[in-house]
Amino acid sequence: MDRRKFLKKSMILGSAFWLPRFPACKEKKSALSEKSRVIVAQDPAVLNKRSVEGDKLLKLLDNAVQTYFDCDHPVDAWRKIVQPGEVIGLKVNCLSGRGSTHRELVEAIAERLRQAGIRESDIIIWDRLNKDLEECGFKIRYKGKGVKCFGNDAVGFAPNLQVFGQAGSLVTRILTNLCDGIINIPLLRDHSIAGVSIALKNLFGAIHNPNKYHLNKGDPYIADVNSFPVIRKKVRFTIVDAIEAQYHGGPSFMPQWRWKFGGLLVGYDRVAIDYTGWRIIEEKRKEKGLPALKEEDREPKYIFTAGDADHQLGEANPLKIETIKI
Amino acid sequence: MNQQDKYRIDLPPGKAPHTMGRRSFLKIASSTCLLIGTPVLNWSNRSALFAMSPDDKRFVREARFYEKLQHSQVRCKLCPRKCVIDDHERGYCGVRENQDGTYYTLVYSRPCTFHVDPIEKKPLFHFLPGTTAFSIATAGCNLNCKFCQNWQISQVTPEQVDSYYLPPKKTATMAKDYNSKSIAYTYSEPTIFFEYMYDTAVEGKKQGVNSVVITAGFMEKDPVKDLCKVVDAIKVDLKAFTEDYYQKVVRGNLKPVLETMETIRNQGTWLEIVYLVVPTLNDGEKEIRELARWTMANLGPDVPIHFTRFYPQYLLKNLPPTPVSTLEKCKAIADAEGLRYVYIGNVPGHPAENTYCPKCGKILVERTGFLIKRMEITDGRCPYCKTAIPGVWRI
């Protein structure tokens, strides 16, 4: 460790020691706590016609995260995800045009991160390309005191090839070099090839060659990419933007197949989240008279692969997923 | 105008051309990469991939082979993959994009590298030996071979490498000015920059420059037939002779590649085959024999075939380089099956780099690596026994 790193770490540790203490979160002892927990939080009022009600969304987010960690205070819950002094990336999804990640949700998350001790300038909103972020309504910002925002194209990819199973990719420097941890903020939507595109597939935005991994409906590639050590290690939490969701015709924005879900899916286990999100999409498809994804030969088998013994990314067995609806 | 200005290339806004220092040049030039055919590329001394302006309209052209589907989807018809692509998405190759229901190539006039190579480096041994080829490539590939030696350009999108603006006419002019007899579309996979390649070949014809294509041959029949009308030679990298290998190691299919080679032969375009022999994966005696028999039956005995040596690369680093004895065994099998021009590649100085007269056995072209030490073929014939030697020996 050089002098600069030593000083930086010392300052971080020192500041952490003097942080004000929030009430500790309750420890849940029930058998249910052994399961992977997924919070499905809904409030139809977060979406008023086409505009998002920021205060209601923040409340919904707090409820979801506090419920997940069983905490009375939202900041206390966030402190279980991040530590003061860290650099945190917010991986959004800007590939669906008007159907992309809502800025209001990203702002709400950034606000809570700040309150949990993350400096504004240590928050990086990112996706594949600057162009995509701009089209999604985000403003590109590389420096200064505010929240940063830029795409992989701004900083490039780390030179070491990451390899797992059938996948081999370069990973964005945002993830490898710049961030200590990542909050994954995917969408809840149908995908014409992979079946659904939710938490696991959103991490395709971290690699240089996602176009190579749609073969065989993304199986096992999506699970393999998520198993790259640097991705497995750094993705801290997932908050699915399901304010509006899409049950068919994805990933492109297709207004005729979208519905107001008015909610968020929250949790650590992105396999369990994907399984839960997939079932929500299937229910909606059934309600709309569409065939199950399996009948269209695009059942998202990669979710089960992600949960298998080779990958161990999470839980795809519904009996081992605790879904809490609020 | 001095020489440097003459060849100045218009780069996209904000981009400076990469220059290579003496140290880097020596490092690269002395590496074994040269021996195994890796181009000396502008990115080779870089540790990471960087992007460039993604929206430069100069590089965007509507694709030639696709159909429009419902809900703004398109189906690409350039390669056998036939990707169905949603709006604002790209195909497997990463260089073709659906924009509001219209399909575009993003690499027209957008090479990420260009270089003057000996034609033997391609390798083409029966096509204007001793000449040079002005060689270009764009980013992208429609396969993902685990042993790819150029993956830093073939397995990336156009935004992830620096590129040049080099339209067809300028490409042909540069080739001519460099005294290259051919333009080679190579290094990555030219199928995916079909429109640029085709138009450049047409422009080359106008300026008296040949075109040669170095491809995996994983292409639909219509584009292959169109291509054969404007290019002069095609070298196909046949990766193996089993579907299993194609699916597991290459991410493609064998059958369309065989069909491509038959089409090329039927169209009368000069064809050579390279077979990269990967230890334990595609070097079985049975497989090589079946390959040789298929070639004899479908392409004839005169198509040159090069068995080349594998070196550990990219995602296949757990295997050793191919033993020379394995290559010699492959050659012996192909010779025994009646193929007349069987070479061993990536083994500089090996006697099987030479061309021998199939009738009298005399050396007709003596090679060491990419150098021609002796050229005896006269008017397309062996000077000793007058046997006709197939190939393109003169323009």
The domain limits of chain A are 35-325
Note whether B278 and B328 are same-domain residues: yes
Answer whether B156 sits within 8 Å of A209, measured CB to CB.
yes
Which residues constitute the domain of residue B72? Answer: 61-105
For helices B168-177 and B194-206, the axis angle rounded to 10 degrees is 50
CB spacing of B92 vs A163 below 8 angstroms:
no
* Nearest-CB residue to B144 (from A129, A163, A212): A212
The token pair that represents B171 in the structure block: 């490409």
User: Which of A211, A212, A215, A298 is the best substitution to test chain B (most B C-beta atoms within 10 A)?
Assistant: A211
Given a cut of 50, whether residue B50 has pLDDT beyond it is: no
Say yes or no: B121 contacts chain A, CB-CB below 8 A: no
Calculate mean pLDDT across residues B370-376.
93
pLDDT at A49 over 90: no
Chain A within 8 Å of B188 (Cβ-Cβ)? Answer: no
Residue B251 to residue A215, Cβ atoms within 8 A: yes
Choose between A27 and A246: higher pLDDT: A246
**Does some domain include residue B12?**
no
Q: Chain A contact for B72, CB < 8 A?
A: yes
How many Å lie between the alpha carbon of A43 and the closest alpha carbon of chain B? 31
With contact defined as beta carbons under 8 Å apart, do A277 and A186 qualify? no
pLDDT at B373: 93
- Mean pLDDT, range A38-63, rounded to an integer: 92
Is B392 a member of any domain?
no
* One-letter identity of residue B382: C
Count other C-beta atoms under 10 Å from residue A248's C-beta.
19
B97 and B122 part of one domain: no
Overall fold of domain A35-325: Rossmann fold (3.40.50)
Mean pLDDT over A66-93 rounds to 95
State the CATH number of the domain containing residue B242.
3.20.20.70
Indicate the range of A3-7, A17-21, A137-141, B222-226 predicted with least confidence: A17-21
β pairing state of A148-151 and A123-127: parallel
**Cβ(A281)–Cβ(A249) under 8 Å?**
no
Which residues of chain A have a CB within 8 Å of the CB of B60? none
Any CB–CB contact under 8 A between B90 and chain A?
Answer: yes
pLDDT at B26 over 60: no
Query: In the A/B pair of chains, how many CB contacts fall below 8 A?
Result: 74
- Domain check: are B96 and B138 in the same one? no
Residue B40 is assigned to a structural domain of this protein:
no
Greatest alpha-carbon pair distance for chain A in Å reads: 64
Would you say residue A15 has pLDDT above 80? no
Q: Is the predicted pLDDT of residue A174 greater than 90, yes or no?
A: yes
What does the pLDDT look like over A225-277, one tens digit per residue?
999 999 999 999 999 999 999 999 989 899 999 999 999 999 999 999 999 99
Q: Are residues B133 and B251 in the same domain?
A: yes
DSSP H/E element including B137: strand B132-137
Confidence of residue A121 (pLDDT cuts 50, 70, 90): very high
Q: Indicate whether B240 and B258 sit together in one domain.
A: yes
Give the gap in angstroms from C-alpha A302 to the nearest C-alpha of chain B.
Answer: 18
**DSSP reduced 3-state for B140:** coil
Residues of A in contact with B154 (CB under 8 A): none
Query: How close, in Å, is residue A156 to chain B by CA atoms?
Result: 5
Select the residue from A153, A189, A254 to test the B interface by mutation, using most B Cβ atoms within 10 A.
Answer: A153
Q: What's the CA dihedral at B118, B124, B128, B133 to 10 degrees?
A: -40
Q: What is the pLDDT of residues B214-231, one digit of tens each?
A: 999 999 999 999 999 999
Give the tens place of pLDDT for each residue, B55-81: 588 999 999 999 999 999 999 999 999
B94 neighbourhood in chain A, CB within 8 Å: 209, 211-212
Share of chain A above pLDDT 90, in %: 82
Min Cα distance A102 → chain B (Å) is: 19
B195 plus B167 within the same structural domain: yes
Which pLDDT score, from 0 to 100, does residue A26 have? 57
Total tally of structural domains belonging to chain B = 2
